[in-house]
Every structure is written in structure tokens, then in C-alpha cells.
Amino acid sequence: MRIMTPLGWAASRWQLGPRALRWGTTAALVVSVLIVLGGGVVRVTGSGLGCPTWPTCDGQSVIQLVPDSIHLLIEQTNRMLTGLLIVAVGWAIIAARLQRPRDRVLTRLAWSQFWLVVANAVAGGFTVLFKLSPWMVAVHFVLAIGLLTTATLTWHRARAGLRHENPPRAPRAARTLAWTLVAATLVLILVGTLVTGSGPHSGDSQEVTRMPFHWESVTLVHAVLGTAVLVLGIALLVVLRGYPLARGRALAFVVVTLLQGALGAVQALTGLPEWQVALHLVGASLVWIGALRVLLDTDTRLFAVRDIPTAPTRAAEPVAAS
């Protein structure tokens, strides 16, 4: 006997159009970036233990209607962003399931966001319980990057289904460079968590043990990796001539990475001002999203909708009259 889920029952009776799907996946992606910004604000303002317990804020209530400190207000607002994220992801899940014809890949991608939201919430709780251990903070951020990944893939898939044809697939050299770019960007972000974990912004106004790395040394490694990622992006600009969509993505990636690198250099040389650190975290999110979009529009068979034909790589040559 086949068991019908509530969403399956709803899908058998109602249908949502592509517009609802576009808005749902866009909302989930935007709020996923806002979550990173919220975490950054908590960290640089020393508000990580503004709510000293989890899941409640003060051991009794989840929300204090009249916060008694600015740190509590900031941390409580950050936690409430998770509720907004759940609404956005729920919207994406429902809109994906109520599409006709059904796209199982899209629905699974949307559901993966939900489980990563849950994992992030649990990691946030452990971060508080472990008194802002820099290792738990790093895990929390990596899970946020995982959420950004699935949100970007869902957003891309939702739009791919609206095309009349899939863009042409770039040559193997370009695809290899794009995969290398994503891998290098991931390593760059992971090393960035070590830079943050070794630096002064612990997330609390009290003394918190930091990672046992020499901050200047790990920052230098981070800068070298950033330069390598930028070079890979420029190389893709050269290789992707004749592929305007993918080349446009590569150009946007190079611009964002340049701005992110400039911001990173300025903040390192000016004593890590709080607002610059928070902005740098948002920049890291945009760089990661950009790298994924370069890959998706270079290797267009990834998450492509198979029912849509792929555009030819080159226009057909005219046949000479005999």
C-alpha cells in the first residue's frame, strides 16, 4: 500500500506556478546570506552569549519581550532569523513539490535546505553550550556554507526549468578549471575560519580561548589562497570566450573576489574593525555563491532539466550548393 504524504496529497489537488517557485527559492537564498550576516554581527559585537542558554534564551523563555541588554537583543534577533529562514525554506519546499510536472531533484534539493537549517540550529546550540569554542564556531559557519550551497543549487534548478533550452556545455578545459575554482574557493573559506578562530573577535566580551595558530601566518596563507582563486577566475575568463553566459558569471566572480580581497587586506591592516569583519563574512558568502554559479553555467549538465534540449555549441555550418 502506498502512503501519501501531506505534501503529496496537496500536490494531487493544487498546483503552484513558476513564479511562486522563483520567489520561494530566491527568498531562501537571500535569508541564508542574512543568517551569515547575523552571525557575523553577533561575533563582532561580543553578543555570542547574550542568550547564555539554548534553546531558551535565559533558561525560562525562548524570547524576552523586553531585552535587558544590547547583547541579548542582538543574539535574540539572530536566533529569530532562523524562524524567518524556516518560513523561506518551507515556501521553497511547498512550491517545488506543487510544480507540474513534478521535479524530484528540485524537491530533494529544497528539502536538503531544511535539514541543513536544523543542523545549523543544533550547531548554534552547541556553540553556546561550549561557550563559543572557536572550533564549534567554525563548524557552525561551515554548515552555513552548506546551506548556501543547497540554496544556490535549488535556486539554479528552479530557473533552469524555465528555459527553452539548456546553455551549451563549455569545453573540458573550462569545466576542469571551474571544478578547480570551486575546490580552491572551499579551501579558501575553510582557512578563513582558522583566521577568524585565531583572531580577536571571539563572539563574547569575556576572554574566550582561541585557536592555537599564529594569526599573521594563517592570514598570509589565506591571502595566498585568495590570490590563487582570483587567478583561476581570470583564467576562466580567457577560456570561456564564445560562452557568454558562463563568461559573464566568471566576470562577476572576479569582480566580487577582487572586492572581497581588497576588504580583507584593509581590515587586516587597520586592526579588524567590527563592521569590516561582518561585511567580509557576507563577501565570503557571495564569493562562494559566485563560484558555484560559474561551475553550474560552465558544466551545464549539472542539475540541468533533462526534458529541455541543450543549445548547440556552435551554429550549424551552411551546406554548399552542389
Instruction: Give the bridge partners for 197, in sequence order.
Output: none
Range of the domain at 304: 165-312
- Check whether residue 223 and residue 88 sit in a common domain: no
User: In sequence order, what are the residues at sequence separation of 6 or more whose Cβ sits closer than 8 angstroms to the Cβ of residue 243?
Assistant: 167, 168, 170, 174, 298
Binned at pLDDT 50, 70 and 90, residue 206 comes out as low
Q: Which amino acid is at 114?
A: F
pLDDT of residue 322: 33
User: In sequence order, what are the residues at sequence separation of 6 or more whose Cβ sits closer than 8 angstroms to the Cβ of residue 281?
Assistant: 36, 37, 39, 40
- Check whether residue 210 and residue 96 sit in a common domain: no
Residue 317 in domain = no
Helix axes 215-239, 274-298, angle to 10 degrees: 30
Mean pLDDT of 105-117: 96
- Check whether residue 302 and residue 170 sit in a common domain: yes
- Check whether residue 297 and residue 180 sit in a common domain: yes
Residue 105 in domain = yes
Q: Of 55-59, 81-85, 165-169, 255-259, where does the model show the most confidence?
A: 255-259
- Check whether residue 89 and residue 75 sit in a common domain: yes
Which of the pair, 285 or 102, is modelled with greater confidence? Answer: 285
- Check whether residue 140 and residue 174 sit in a common domain: no
Residue 67: helix, strand or coil by DSSP?
Answer: coil
Mean pLDDT of 254-265: 97
The pLDDT of residue 199 is above 50:
yes
Indicate the pTM of the whole model. Answer: 0.90
| 197 backbone dihedrals φ, ψ, rounded to 5° | -65, -20
Residue 212 in domain = yes
Residue 2 in domain = no
- Check whether residue 103 and residue 234 sit in a common domain: no
- Check whether residue 158 and residue 105 sit in a common domain: yes
Task: For residues 287 and 268, give the distance between their C-alpha atoms in angstroms, rounded to a whole number.
Answer: 19
pLDDT of residue 189: 98
Residue 271 in domain = yes
Last residue of a domain, one of 162, 196, 213: 162
Task: Judge whether 310 and 300 are in contact, CB under 8 Å.
Answer: yes
Helical H runs in 130-214? 134-160, 172-198
Residue 118 in domain = yes
Chain Cα centroid distance, residue 143 = 9
Residue 4 in domain = no
The pLDDT of residue 306 is above 80:
no
Last residue of a domain, one of 162, 197, 224: 162
Could you give the number of structural domains in the chain? Answer: 2
> Residue 266 is inside which H or E element, if any?
helix 244-269
- Check whether residue 274 and residue 146 sit in a common domain: no
Last residue of a domain, one of 162, 186, 201: 162
Mean pLDDT of 13-36: 94
pLDDT of residue 47: 85
- Check whether residue 122 and residue 184 sit in a common domain: no
The pLDDT of residue 317 is above 80:
no
Instruction: Give the bridge partners for 185, in sequence order.
Output: none
Task: Judge whether 138 and 193 are in contact, CB under 8 Å.
Answer: yes
- Check whether residue 158 and residue 192 sit in a common domain: no
User: What does DSSP assign to residue 307?
Assistant: T
Task: For residues 277 and 7, give the distance between their C-alpha atoms in angstroms, rounded to a whole number.
Answer: 41
CATH of the domain at 192: 1.20.120
- Check whether residue 230 and residue 268 sit in a common domain: yes
Task: Judge whether 51 and 178 are in contact, CB under 8 Å.
Answer: no
Instruction: Give the bridge partners for 47, in sequence order.
Output: 204
Residue 3 in domain = no
The pLDDT of residue 318 is above 70:
no
| 67 backbone dihedrals φ, ψ, rounded to 5° | -60, 140
